[in-house]
Amino acid sequence: MTGRQRLKAALWPPRVTRAQLIVALLLFVLGLGLAIQVRSTSDDSVLRGARQEDLVRLLDEVDDRARRLEDEERRLEDQRTELENSSDQAEEARRQTEQKARELGVLAGTVAAQGPGITLTINDRAGTVEADMLLNTLQELRAAGAEAIQINDVRVVADTYFSDDLDSGVRIDGRAVSEPYRFEVIGNPQDLEPALNIPGGVVQSLEKEQAVVSVRRANKIVVDALRAAEQPDYARSSTE
């Protein structure tokens, strides 16, 4: 082997020691840190070297963006308040509509009702009480402020009518009703009871016909006989 060949074999492949690898790695990290510092320094130098009017312009842009964000925040808050108010109004309108529907249902006899009132019971063992006497009783109760009335199992409404029947005695809205006639009446007891007991009034007139009449006040009267809601054949809402 010649001298050149021996020199080449000694140098290649290179033999790297552990210490040399550590030194190379440290030099790489140091170089990377210097590069980052130079980059950061150059960025800062851009602002330090900027003209005053450029800095003012940058500050104005930052202020404008902040104002736009504040305006957007106020706009969104206004929208939220408007939606909340709109929701409250819609809920209140819905509540009032439901309440009105219940009130109309009580008058129409399509929903049950309860409240203070009286119970009027007419026992007619002699069979002398006729339809017109019950009608007079109903009219007296209405005049005294009755709000809901039920006679036995029949709900009384605005167009309720009475008729005599030779077999059953009395019919209310075409339904046979037998004695004792029991009126469940919702209203102010302090108005209803005196109206029935006035001299020459309902109670005395019925007692003259040998009927036994009792009037009892109550804090809670339940009127739960219902009528089916009738659908008109021709009439329609004017808003349709």
Question: Which single residue is written with the structure tokens 């075409």?
Answer: 174
Residue 148 near residue 185, CB atoms below 8 Å? yes
pLDDT at 11: 45
89 and 188: one domain? no
Higher per-residue pLDDT: 173 or 45: 173
Residue 88 domain flag: yes
Residue 143 near residue 220, CB atoms below 8 Å? no
Q: Does residue 96 surpass a pLDDT of 50?
A: yes
129 and 177: one domain? yes
119 and 202: one domain? yes
72 and 137: one domain? no
193 and 209: one domain? yes
pLDDT at 102: 85
132 and 189: one domain? yes
Q: Cα 193 to the chain's mean position, in Å?
A: 39
pLDDT at 119: 97
Q: Does residue 48 surpass a pLDDT of 80?
A: no
| Strand, coil or helix: 68 | helix
CB hemisphere CA count around 208 (13 angstroms)? 9
Query: Worst-scoring range by mean pLDDT, 13-17, 47-51, 99-103, 169-173?
Result: 13-17
Torsion sign over Cα 235, 237, 239, 240: negative
Q: Could you tell me what percent of the chain has a pLDDT over 90?
A: 44
The CA distance from 187 to 164, in Å, is: 28
Q: What six digits make up the tokens of 202?
A: 């309902």
pLDDT at 155: 96
Residue 182 near residue 137, CB atoms below 8 Å? no
DSSP for 49-100, please give it. Answer: TS-HHHHHHHHHHHHHHHHHHHHHHHHHHHHHHHHHHHHHHHHHHHHHHHHH
pLDDT at 91: 75
- Host domain of residue 59: 50-108
pLDDT at 77: 81
Residue 42 domain flag: no
Residue 4 domain flag: no
Q: Does residue 24 surpass a pLDDT of 50?
A: yes
CA distances from 188 to 68, 71, 88, 91, 200 (A): 64, 59, 34, 32, 22
Residue 8 domain flag: no
CB hemisphere CA count around 178 (13 angstroms)? 3
141 and 156: one domain? yes
Of 28-37, 94-103, 188-197, highest mean pLDDT? 188-197
Q: What six digits make up the tokens of 112?
A: 């049950």
User: Which tens digit of pLDDT belongs to each residue from 173-193?
Assistant: 999 999 999 999 999 999 999
pLDDT at 239: 56
Neighbours of 94 (CB within 10 A): 10
Residue 151 domain flag: yes
Q: Does residue 7 surpass a pLDDT of 50?
A: no
For the chain, what is the domain count? Answer: 2
Residue finishing a domain among 69, 87, 108: 108
The CA distance from 219 to 45, in Å, is: 90
Q: Does residue 148 surpass a pLDDT of 90?
A: yes
Higher per-residue pLDDT: 117 or 62: 117
128 and 192: one domain? yes
Q: Read off the pTM.
A: 0.61
Q: Does residue 17 surpass a pLDDT of 80?
A: no
141 and 61: one domain? no
Question: Could you tell me the CATH number of the domain that includes residue 122?
Answer: 3.30.70.1880
